Amino acid sequence: MPLRILIILIVIILLVGALVLWGVSNNIFVTKESIESKIIYGLRHVSKIIVGKYYLQTVVDHREIKSLRPDVAVLFKIEWEANVSVDFSKIEPEDITIDKDSKVISVRVPNIEFTELSIKRPELIYEKIPFYRNDEEIRNQILEKAKLDVQDKLRKLRNSSYNIALVEAFVRSFIKKTLGEEYSVNVIIG
């Protein structure tokens, strides 16, 4: 009798062990994340990322500054730097479409933003009568006028093919790293 119980116990242990090994090999104990959820989880944790930089120049002359005396003639060149960024924390599950047969992923990303607009170098190119170094108000007017010009240029560049290519390259490499395989990626802005 005790031998029979021992044999039954060994058979039960072997069956349970075989079941566990089969389950581990078929991943039945691991919850399977969908491709969409992996991408969304990863992109949301990336949050806001800088995908590129712009270096711009503006030129402001004396005719654009109202408070200058008529006998003053100046020309300024101001170099600017702006970061191209996308806030991926706004992505929702319905923003991702996957065609598994043709291995194409379409991702709708939020609008491209320009952040950290900063002056790299203001330069006085020409002045007829020296005034600039002592007149803070005029200097501020010149910088404000130049900033408005740069913001207008950036507004026009927002949905340029260059910016879309930057975002596409980031998303493509992110998906390859996250999923471990190559997918064709379509990025839709907005």
For 117-133, the pLDDT digits (tens) are 888 777 776 666 665 55
- State how far the Cα of 90 lies from the Cα of 85, in Å rounded to an integer: 13
Tokens (6 digits) for 124: 């006085």
Residue 82: CB atoms within 10 Å: 21
**Residue 30: what pLDDT?**
44
Sorted by sequence, the CB contacts under 8 Å of residue 158 that are 6+ apart come out as 111, 112, 114
Treating both helix axes as pointing N-terminal to C-terminal, what angle do 35-46 and 161-179 enclose, rounded to 10 degrees?
A: 120
Distances (CA, A) of 27 to 14, 80, 177: 20, 53, 22
Tokens (6 digits) for 80: 């600017």
Residue spans of the domains in the chain: they are: 33-189
Counting residues of the chain whose pLDDT is more than 90, the rounded percentage is: 0
Q: How confident is the model at residue 66 (pLDDT cuts 50, 70, 90)?
A: low
For 142-181, the pLDDT digits (tens) are 788 888 888 888 888 877 888 888 888 888 888 888 888 7
pTM of the model: 0.62
